[in-house]
């Protein structure tokens, strides 16, 4: 059933009103540092330096060794905030006032290196930031919105009118149109490659405006950590510097930079929410030192976001199946061991993981994938399935999206999600018998 336009407008208006009610003026504090380094986090990072933690030593060695770093200004500015090294600040400032064009890093340098800037340098860099947010956005993506939000927050004490105007636009216009509307339509507004930018935006807005943007998409964000945890292939990849968890991809490719970005996003995600159960399982997953990033891209993020003191729960107690009801995705594994059997249904495709490699599964051919605790039934052209495992949770995949199916006596009628999945609801006693697949009008 299609949502009527006037109902969608009312829903978006309600979201906008709720957000506006939380912060009527959208005025950020105008202090430095304001971005990503709230006082508790900055104290933690300085304590990590004092105790010479492994993450600090790795980060420090890259800075001291003048390693080639893909985001050098970000790394130097962070190092200055923690260690007070003015040479690092001057390198970041020189880049920002010279060839620097990355708005995100420019905002971080302006905010984090403010005490090392001369009055003239501060004015010049502020003008550079103000000019950037005065121009209309060129994309609707979260990366640009994040960067513009960081710039606006950094400018709050210098040009408050421009800062407030841009923050109001992002929270009241961009977020409802990009996030809420896209998710309501079943579109993935924040694919994994954009996940880190999303959580930088969430941190910055909450820290400065006391607005939790997740409130307008609660189901999506409540399911996110479980989906995130199970959407990695089981076997880790051993690189020279450390081991990596590899995120599942449609083509089954192994991309180490994507793996680094995914871990950085997970770290920022668990730093954002320390109390929800799913986020605590994800924190337990991240604490293994084997996966601590040592490379020139990942090490600054590892140091910035990892918190070894934050409570985390053993992921061995986490559910082994995650159904994303918003986007129509499903991820299952047989256990939390590295040799576990795994299946992922996303983007309208089904994969398994066999012999250290992802393998595509033909959705046109009916089959049962039995994981003991759960069964994935690939519909294909089948009209029924005989289920012999009474303790398993049953997922039907490969059906018509958002279609009503009659599944037989004792099961009743159920509607598929946007991916064509039905999570067959049974009691703890499970089900043994025949499930029929009869689409209804």
Give the tens place of pLDDT for each residue, 132-150. Answer: 999 999 988 999 999 999 9
DSSP 116: G
Looking at the fold, whether 296 and 334 belong to one and the same domain comes out as no
How confident is the prediction for the chain on average, in pLDDT? 91
| Torsion angle, alpha carbons of 324, 330, 334, 336, to 10 | -50
Note the pLDDT of residue 23.
Answer: 45
Note the pLDDT of residue 130.
Answer: 97
Looking at the fold, whether 163 and 70 belong to one and the same domain comes out as yes
**DSSP characters over 205-257:** HHHHH---GGGGGHHHHHHHHHHHHHTB-SS-EE-SS-EEPPBP-TT----HH
Report whether pLDDT(9) > 80: no
Report whether pLDDT(336) > 70: yes
Q: What is the mean pLDDT of residues 42-70?
A: 97
Q: Which sign does the torsion angle of CA 19, 25, 29, 34 carry? A: positive
Nearest to 377 by CA among 414, 337, 340: 414
Tokens of 83: 């260690």
Note the pLDDT of residue 7.
Answer: 41
| CATH at 46 | 1.50.10.100
- Domain-terminating residue out of 256, 291, 316: 316
Looking at the fold, whether 284 and 326 belong to one and the same domain comes out as no
Distances (CA, A) of 89 to 85, 114, 293, 352: 7, 9, 24, 48
- For residue range 53-64, what is the model confidence (pLDDT) as tens digits? 999 999 999 999
Note the pLDDT of residue 430.
Answer: 62
Q: What is the mean pLDDT of residues 66-74?
A: 96
State the Cα–Cα distance between residues 198 and 191, nearest whole angstrom.
10
Of the pLDDT bands very low, low, confident and very high (cuts 50, 70, 90), residue 205 is very high
Looking at the fold, whether 167 and 240 belong to one and the same domain comes out as yes
Nearest to 294 by CA among 281, 303, 285: 303
Of the pLDDT bands very low, low, confident and very high (cuts 50, 70, 90), residue 153 is very high
If you search the block for the tokens 């159904």, which residue do you land on?
Answer: 323
- Domain-terminating residue out of 316, 344, 369: 316
Of the pLDDT bands very low, low, confident and very high (cuts 50, 70, 90), residue 429 is low
- Domain-terminating residue out of 271, 294, 316: 316
Query: Full-prediction pTM beyond 0.85?
Result: yes
State the Cα–Cα distance between residues 43 and 166, nearest whole angstrom.
30
Looking at the fold, whether 345 and 396 belong to one and the same domain comes out as yes
Looking at the fold, whether 136 and 81 belong to one and the same domain comes out as yes
Nearest to 271 by CA among 260, 262, 282: 282
Of the pLDDT bands very low, low, confident and very high (cuts 50, 70, 90), residue 186 is confident
Looking at the fold, whether 249 and 160 belong to one and the same domain comes out as yes
Looking at the fold, whether 43 and 156 belong to one and the same domain comes out as yes
Q: Which sign does the torsion angle of CA 222, 225, 230, 231 carry? A: positive
Q: What is the mean pLDDT of residues 333-355?
A: 94
Note the pLDDT of residue 25.
Answer: 81
Report whether pLDDT(298) > 60: yes
Q: What is the mean pLDDT of residues 153-174?
A: 97
Candidate from 330-344, 379-393, 425-439 with smallest mean pLDDT:
425-439
**Domains in the chain: how many in total?**
2
Looking at the fold, whether 257 and 362 belong to one and the same domain comes out as no
Q: Which residues contact 176 (CB under 8 A, 6 or more apart)?
A: 12, 15, 16, 19, 216
Q: Which residues contact 269 (CB under 8 A, 6 or more apart)?
A: 195, 199, 224, 225, 228, 279, 282
Task: Give percent of the chain with pLDDT exceeding 90.
Answer: 78
State the Cα–Cα distance between residues 324 and 343, nearest whole angstrom.
14
Angle at the Cα of 255 (from 252 to 261), degrees rounded to 5?
Answer: 120
Candidate from 92-101, 104-113, 183-192, 414-423 with smallest mean pLDDT:
183-192
Looking at the fold, whether 363 and 418 belong to one and the same domain comes out as yes
Give me the domain span that covers residue 38.
5-180+188-316
Nearest to 80 by CA among 25, 146, 33: 33
Nearest to 151 by CA among 138, 162, 136: 162
Looking at the fold, whether 220 and 368 belong to one and the same domain comes out as no
Residue 381 CB neighbours (<10 A): 9
Looking at the fold, whether 18 and 34 belong to one and the same domain comes out as yes
Report whether pLDDT(210) > 70: yes
């Amino acid at each position: 059933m299609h949502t009527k336009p006037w109902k969608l407008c009312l829903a978006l208006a309600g979201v906008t009103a709720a957000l506006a009610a939380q912060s009527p003026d959208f005025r950020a504090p105008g202090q430095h540092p304001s971005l990503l380094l709230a006082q508790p986090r900055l104290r933690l990072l300085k304590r990590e330096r004092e105790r010479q933690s492994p993450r600090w030593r790795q980060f420090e060695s890259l800075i001291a060794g003048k390693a080639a770093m893909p985001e050098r200004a970000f790394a130097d500015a962070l190092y200055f905030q923690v260690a007070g090294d003015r040479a690092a600040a001057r390198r970041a400032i020189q880049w920002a006032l010279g060839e620097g064009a990355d708005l995100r890093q420019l905002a971080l340098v302006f905010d984090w290196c403010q005490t090392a800037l001369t009055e003239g340098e501060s004015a010049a860099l502020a003008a550079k930031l103000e000019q950037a947010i005065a121009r209309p956005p060129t994309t609707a993506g979260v990366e640009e919105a994040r960067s513009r939000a960081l710039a606006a927050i950094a400018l709050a004490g210098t040009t408050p009118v421009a800062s407030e105007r841009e923050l109001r636009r992002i929270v009241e216009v961009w977020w409802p149109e990009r996030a809420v509307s896209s998710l309501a339509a079943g579109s993935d507004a924040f694919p994994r490659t954009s996940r880190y930018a999303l959580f930088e935006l969430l941190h910055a807005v909450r820290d400065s405006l006391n607005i939790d943007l997740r409130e307008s998409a609660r189901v999506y964000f409540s399911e996110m950590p479980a989906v995130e945890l199970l959407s990695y292939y089981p076997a880790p990849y051993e690189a020279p510097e450390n081991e990596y968890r590899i995120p599942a991809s449609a083509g089954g490719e192994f991309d180490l930079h994507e793996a680094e970005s995914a871990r950085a996003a997970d770290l920022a995600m668990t730093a954002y929410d320390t109390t929800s159960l799913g986020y605590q399982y994800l924190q337990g997953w991240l604490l293994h030192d084997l996966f601590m990033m040592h490379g020139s891209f990942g090490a600054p993020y590892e140091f910035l976001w990892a918190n070894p003191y934050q409570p985390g729960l053993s992921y061995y107690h986490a559910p082994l199946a995650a159904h994303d009801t918003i986007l129509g995705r499903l991820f299952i594994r047989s256990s939390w061991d590295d040799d576990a059997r795994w299946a992922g249904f996303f983007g309208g495709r089904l994969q398994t993981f066999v012999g250290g490699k992802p393998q595509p599964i033909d959705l046109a051919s009916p089959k049962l994938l039995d994981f003991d605790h759960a069964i994935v039934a690939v519909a294909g052209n089948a009209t029924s399935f005989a289920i012999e495992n009474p303790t398993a949770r049953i997922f039907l995949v490969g059906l018509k999206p958002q279609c009503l199916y009659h599944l037989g006596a004792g099961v009743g009628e159920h509607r598929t999600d946007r991916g064509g999945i039905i999570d067959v609801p049974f009691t703890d006693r499970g089900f043994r018998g025949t499930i029929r697949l009869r689409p209804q009008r």
